[in-house]
Amino acid sequence: MPQLSTQGIVCSVRHHGEHGAIVRLFTPDDGLVAGYVRGGRSRRIRPILIPSNLVAAEFRARTADHLAGLTVELVTSRAPWIGEPLASAALDWATTLTAATLPEENAYPRLYSALSALLDAICHAPSARGWATAMVRFELLLLAELGFGLDLSCCAATGQLDDLAYVSPRSARAVSRGAGQGYKARLLPLPPFLLPSTDAQRRPEWPDIVAGFALTGYYLERSLLADRRGDVMSGRTQMIARLQRMLE
């Protein structure tokens, strides 16, 4: 990638040297791309490099093996929501998860569209219910895009299509309510809003949303973040704790 002009979502910023920063952007056609921003810690550029901001980016590298130099211009700022504890935690988790799990320079157009819509929902939905389900679905999509998708199409034991209520931790497949009797303690609850046949107009209740986070969190920890659960998952833990305080 000697040269690339694109838009991208800022997903991570790491200080480098006295004044610079290594920035990773999630782009629509090239996936996660890293570049060095000269003066990235300056008062002028720092507000542009807030994770979740959308920027116009120019990457330039001498060879494909060198880290590209990166210049950025702000397109959409989400800085006004950084001061809101719940929205800030959600923005931070969505971008941290993206940066921590995706391989660089692999295109994931569905994930890019989903992340862009999720960040907009966090900032503009009238309540947390408006984005919490989108966050669960984003985590589910990310698992699928990286090869760890859940099969929620039918019961793993009977093949039936209805009354699916659980997920088998071992197979990541749905289990019907009847087939799960006697094994409930070993299974993960499957909230109805994640089923393909669920009415799109139905508003999930908060216990279902919490169960959705428990389900995706189990597979994120097991399949993608097993070696670094503490540092990466801490942001998710903080977001969910703030959600639960809001419900008390």
pLDDT digits (tens, 9 = 90+) for 143-183: 999 999 999 999 999 999 999 999 999 999 999 999 999 89
Does pLDDT of 51 surpass 70? Answer: yes
Does pLDDT of 108 surpass 90? Answer: yes
User: Which pLDDT band, with edges at 50, 70 and 90, does 43 fall under?
Assistant: confident
Per the CB < 8 A criterion, the answer to whether 26 and 9 are in contact is yes
Considering the domain 86-152+190-247, what is its CATH architecture?
Up-down Bundle (1.20)
- CA torsion, points 237, 240, 242, 243, in degrees to nearest 10? 180
pTM over 0.85: yes
Mean pLDDT of 52-58: 98
Options 4.10.95.10, 2.40.50.140, 2.60.40.60, 3.40.630.20; which CATH number does 3-77 get?
A: 2.40.50.140
Helices then strands, counting H and E runs in the chain, come out as 6, 8
- Own/partner pairs, 38-41, CB within 8 angstroms, 24+ separation: 38/69, 40/13, 40/15, 40/16, 41/15
Does pLDDT of 190 surpass 80? Answer: yes
Does pLDDT of 63 surpass 90? Answer: no
Exposed/middle/buried for residue 172 (C-beta within 10 Å: 0-12, 13-18, 19+) = buried
User: What ranges do the domains of the chain cover?
Assistant: 3-77, 86-152+190-247
